[in-house]
């Protein structure tokens, strides 16, 4: 479908709505699920007793964080090379705000993942009690809490921004009824 078609034009002609390609949609929803799952795991890690249980939960968090990083790289490469780029669904200020939020989401994702990797290095974490991540700069003790706090702050900010993004999508779907949210759901035959 021609990427130049706007949602308003599609609605006026009665043609099928414009939506993103299947890979973009799948990557979007995997990203969303991983962000929520990782944040949830981070909230309960300290409830586990020290030792193997806590190491296992932290290891799952680290592995899923690395998976999020891989998905994010795939998503960015796909978006730059092959993914369907749709025109802004809303002109003017709303379209500008949408672009700012999307950039913020990508920056937040990249920052949080990089801080998470740095956090695992600063801590010198064990992965499933099998392999130890080498400790980054062990002679700088203030590095660990600083990176840990930055990672948590960025993760919280990312979740808030993603929540606002989801809330606005719901407003578009149920109140404005403009088809914006349906762009991120696959169509038959896609």
Does residue 189 belong to any structural domain of this protein?
no
For the chain of 190 residues, list the mean pLDDT of each consecutive stretch of 10.
39 55 94 98 97 96 98 94 72 87 96 97 93 89 94 98 95 89 78
Here the CATH number for the domain that contains residue 61 is 1.20.950
Measured distance CA(53)–CA(160) in Å, rounded: 29
Helix (H) or strand (E) holding 40: helix 22-44
Helix (H) or strand (E) holding 127: strand 126-127
Query: Given this model, what pLDDT does residue 153 score?
Result: 98
Query: Given this model, what pLDDT does residue 190 score?
Result: 56
Chain position carrying tokens 């003017």: 92
Does residue 190 belong to any structural domain of this protein?
no
Range of the domain at 21: 7-184
Q: How far apart are the first and last CA of the chain?
A: 11
Does residue 79 belong to any structural domain of this protein?
yes
Query: Given this model, what pLDDT does residue 88 score?
Result: 66
Cβ 133 vs Cβ 126: under 8 Å = yes
Does residue 115 belong to any structural domain of this protein?
yes
Does residue 43 belong to any structural domain of this protein?
yes
Number of domains within the chain: 1
Q: Are strands 126-127 and 131-132 parallel, antiparallel or unpaired?
A: antiparallel
Measured distance CA(133)–CA(178) in Å, rounded: 48
Helix (H) or strand (E) holding 93: helix 92-123
Query: Given this model, what pLDDT does residue 159 score?
Result: 97
Query: Given this model, what pLDDT does residue 137 score?
Result: 85
Does residue 71 belong to any structural domain of this protein?
yes
Q: The pTM is what? A: 0.85
Does residue 91 belong to any structural domain of this protein?
yes
Chain position carrying tokens 């801080």: 115
């Amino acid at each position: 479908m021609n990427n130049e078609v706007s949602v308003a034009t599609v609605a006026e002609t009665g043609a099928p709505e414009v939506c993103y390609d299947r890979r973009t949609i799948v990557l979007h929803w995997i990203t969303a699920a991983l962000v929520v799952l990782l944040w949830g795991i981070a909230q309960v890690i300290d409830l586990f007793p020290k030792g193997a249980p806590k190491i296992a939960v932290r290891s799952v968090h680290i592995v899923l964080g690395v998976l999020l990083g891989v998905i994010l790289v795939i998503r960015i490469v796909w978006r730059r090379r092959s993914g369907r780029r749709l025109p802004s669904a809303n002109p003017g200020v709303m379209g500008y705000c949408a672009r700012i939020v999307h950039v913020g989401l990508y920056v937040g994702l990249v920052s949080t993942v990089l801080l998470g990797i740095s956090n695992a290095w600063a801590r010198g974490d064990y992965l499933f009690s099998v392999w130890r991540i080498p400790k980054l700069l062990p002679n700088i003790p203030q590095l660990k809490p600083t990176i840990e706090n930055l990672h948590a702050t960025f993760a919280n900010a990312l979740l808030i921004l993603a929540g606002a993004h989801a809330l606005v999508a719901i407003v578009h779907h149920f109140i404005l009824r403009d088809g914006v949210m349906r762009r991120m759901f696959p169509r038959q035959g896609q």
